[in-house]
Amino acid sequence: MEDDQFEKLVQEAINSLPSEFAKKLDNVSIVVQEAPSYYQLTKTNLPQNSLLFGLYEGVPKTKRANYSGVLPDKITIFKNSILQVSYSLDDVREKVRSVVMHEIGHHFGLTDAQLYKTRPRRT
């Protein structure tokens, strides 16, 4: 998949956010990277050979005090990891949306445990 097509899917996921959440995104950038860097992988403490689909780096909104003059938080979506587990364009679209929403959840202060608890189940 070409980079611009993948980035379009990421933008679609961002645009699908309910407006009450989209309005509250604050000082955060969302970028696409081919794969995580060594530094990004090591700070996640994932087991070796794990796939990392996305990463939130920053200060969640719930922990911001005296928060000014700082660089934006960063959400990185990892293209190669998502493509590796996707079988069709619809799979890619669904996985991208899921990862974007998950990482935005971290921006709003939700933990992985809370995000997994509220994740809709496939039927």
Domains plus CATH for the chain?
Answer: 3-118 (3.30.2010.20)
For the chain, helix (H) and strand (E) counts, in that order, are 6, 3
Sign of the Cα pseudo-torsion (31, 109, 71, 47, in order)? negative
- pTM, full prediction: 0.85
Q: Flag whether pLDDT at 118 surpasses 70.
A: no
Rounded distance between C-alpha atoms, residue 104 and residue 99, angstroms: 9
Rounded distance between C-alpha atoms, residue 102 and residue 82, angstroms: 14
Q: What integer pLDDT is reported at residue 47 of this predicted model?
A: 81
pLDDT band at residue 12 under the 50/70/90 scheme: very high
pLDDT band at residue 72 under the 50/70/90 scheme: confident
Structure tokens at 72: 């934006």
Residue with tokens 């998502």: 82
For 39-43, what is the mean pLDDT?
A: 87
If one compares 10 and 25, the residue with the highest pLDDT of the two is 10
